[in-house]
Amino acid sequence: MSDEFRHKIICDPVHGEIPISAIEQGLIDSPSFQRLRNLKQLGLASLVYPNATHTRFAHSLGVFRIMSRVIDLLVGKGHFSDEDRRKMRIAALLHDIGHYPYSHLMEFIDLDKYRPSYLGGTPNPEAPPVSRYPDHEKIGQIVITKRRDIANVLEEAGIDPEEIAKIIRSEHTKLAYNRLIHRPPARR
């Protein structure tokens, strides 16, 4: 691994040392990324299990570390270039940047036929369908491409925010990028 990716070290109790580049530090230090410190990865689980306090911030750093190790192996075997490494590390770091509180729950709540009764009403089969909340990857695309605290860091480093958003949304032309970052939906 080049010195570029050892600008700073984050010490993590699970993953050990997590080396980051100056670009990655700029992204982590941004208000858009720092807000992930306040979002729980495990939803309401901490109400039952008091130590279940894992945040989206910690989760993103863990995914980033694991992906960094995978990418290092692929670069070492000649499957990816250093430029690929840069993009994939950033995509892994930002993969959950679009989450909002309880977002997985909120992404599907509108599809629940009992939703009106949760809100104090009665189910109405005649009512038009309610539009879904946008998924966290769509919100992530907006954050990466429109929020200046993220987009400026990427653009100053010569990285296209749109390309990073496409990797996260599994829409990149390089299929290997999509398969490494984006988990395909479960079959039903």
What does the alpha-carbon distance between residue 109 and residue 115 come to, in Å, rounded to a whole number? 7
Tell me the pLDDT tens digit for each residue of 88-103. 999 999 999 998 887 6
- Listed in sequence order, the residues at least 6 apart from 142 whose beta carbon sits closer than 8 Å to its beta carbon are 98
Dihedral sign, Cα of residue 79, residue 179, residue 17, residue 157: positive
Assigned CATH topology for domain 3-181: Hypothetical protein af1432 (1.10.3210)
Domain boundaries, the chain: 3-181
Beta strands in the chain (DSSP E): 8-12, 16-20
DSSP letter at 55 equals B
- Listed in sequence order, the residues at least 6 apart from 32 whose beta carbon sits closer than 8 Å to its beta carbon are 97, 143, 147, 149, 150
- Listed in sequence order, the residues at least 6 apart from 105 whose beta carbon sits closer than 8 Å to its beta carbon are 43
Which of the given ranges, 11-20, 44-53, 128-137, has the highest pLDDT on average? Answer: 11-20
What does the alpha-carbon distance between residue 59 and residue 1 come to, in Å, rounded to a whole number? 23
Judged on CB neighbours under 10 Å (0-12, 13-18, 19+), 188 is: exposed
Tell me the pLDDT tens digit for each residue of 33-59. 999 999 888 877 888 988 888 899 999
Whether pLDDT at 186 is above 90: no
pTM: 0.84
CA dihedral 66, 57, 2, 84 (to 10 degrees): 70
